[in-house]
Structure 1
Amino acid sequence: MRPENQTGVAEFLLLGLSEDPEWQPLLFGLFLTFFLVTVLGNLLIILVISSDFFFHTPMYFFLSHLAFTDICFSTTTIPKMLVNIQRQSKSIFFTGCLTQVSFVLFFAGLENFLLAAMAYDRYVAICHPLRFFFIMNPHLCGLLILLSLSISTADALLHSLMVLRLSFCTDLEIPHFFCELAQVIKLACSFFFINNILVYLVTSILGGVPFFGIIFSYIQIVSSTLRMSFFLGKYKAFSTCGSHLSVVSFFYGTAFGVYISSAVIHSSNFFASASVMYTVVPPMLNPFIYSLRNKDMKGALKKLI
């Protein structure tokens, strides 16, 4: 019997991080704290940058967009999990699940491109300081943001439309705390080989190009810094990149670590728990990294408070 396409009425079940009722209050409190810290920390970064003319530079322009992206990224996944725990329900409608898939892809892609744009900004600042304001002009900064938004939107739409062509029958349990694209595709009872090919192909291109752009930028930065004759100049060059390099290392390091581990450890529960490290923790820690490693930001925060 041919499976009927139930994508119009299907309900998925988000199994979350644990099915043990005793863990639910702890998970609710923990993730509510994560969410509030993420939103308040990133809002504070945006407020500082927008209120102080000193921070109206390309680096902080991209940082403010990164902070806004982190807020949206966390808002896409955590609130639904909190609502499900509070209502003691695991269900999410197909439309809601597909919307969550789209926004997760969009904001993850946007963060990826913003980190690459920030790396390019640091490359120009250190390797071409005399031409910095000529190269990193407002027109180019706006163009980079627009390009990042366009590519991220196209990526999210592509995968969402490809999910719409799939048929879902029974066994609609997602061993995750949000609708993750790969997990949703696995539940399809129709031919989903093309979807998997697209996931690997598009992720390799849209994830690989910015990543290698960041590596190239930092190779040039290190090479240029080592040629400096003064220690103070070297220290200043490395200090301006410290915060961004920490965020990049944490974002890509946790993501790669999770996927490499999941290839070795075939456990859906492990993958769901480990995914917290690249979907929840980086947006929460980014404001602390930029504020604690940046003297100007710390001074502005003290003045604002």
Structure 2
Amino acid sequence: MTTNLRKPLRIGIAGLGGVGQEIAKRLLRRDIPDAELAGVYARDKARATQTLAALGGEGVAVTGLDELVERCDIVCECATADAFPEIAKATLLAGKTIVAVSVAALPNNLELLDLAKTHGGRIRVASGGLPGLDAVRAMKEGCIHSIKLTTTFRPESLAKEPYVREKGFDFTQPPASPVLVFQGNAREAGAAFPRHFNVGITLSLAGVGFDATEIEVWVDPNVRGAVQHIEVRADDADLTLESRNIPSDNPRTSRIVAPSIMATLRSYVDHLYVGS
């Protein structure tokens, strides 16, 4: 008879919006038996405390950022592109791992990669709503000739975005047919849609970089949620993948984001790891 003597993996959550709450709920009910919720960082501590209590986490500490990092082995960033650099910097300076969601901010904060290298920290980017990242990473070991991501959103998901308004699009009423609203590279897409286009930056990090990853963004009233279509041409394989994501209670976030983070966390404690 063997006994598991490992200490639970201590998880901290930075940002307690819809995704952060879902991660907290799953950790509190011990969906990953060898992991525990060690703390939460949120701007509004009183509100976060109330939210945790409603989820059954009355004893979970709501702390400042530095204290959260000290308490945890891994910090799950579930915040915004604006908050990402501060959260990542604190985590990496402590030589710890950040599981990141808001990576649209990364192209403008590449010093974080040097910080991770210097202090022994790690940035782990969750797959979110993207399929096939392990295959793209495998292709990168050879030669990738092209990568294109075509993303389709429902109109209400982009209706209030500054870029959309600046370009003269009005999606307060659904268009009669699909509309192309952006065409460019991943770096440009991340700047245009910092709240939406973590997927483009994630794909570019797995593959050929911010400037060589082609992006198109469409609006279509007939899709249920965000659709991600990936085309890759490489020496070792050609790849065509599509995910049709289901929206969460927040229509700008796909339901698959929280399970993606949980799968990432599980990989740190499971004895069997599947995928590249």
TM-score, structure 2 normalization: 0.29
Between the two structures, name the one with larger relative contact order (CA 8 Å, sep ≥ 6): 1
Which structure shows the higher strand fraction? 2
Choose 1 or 2 for highest CA Rg.
Answer: 1
TM-score, structure 1 normalization: 0.27
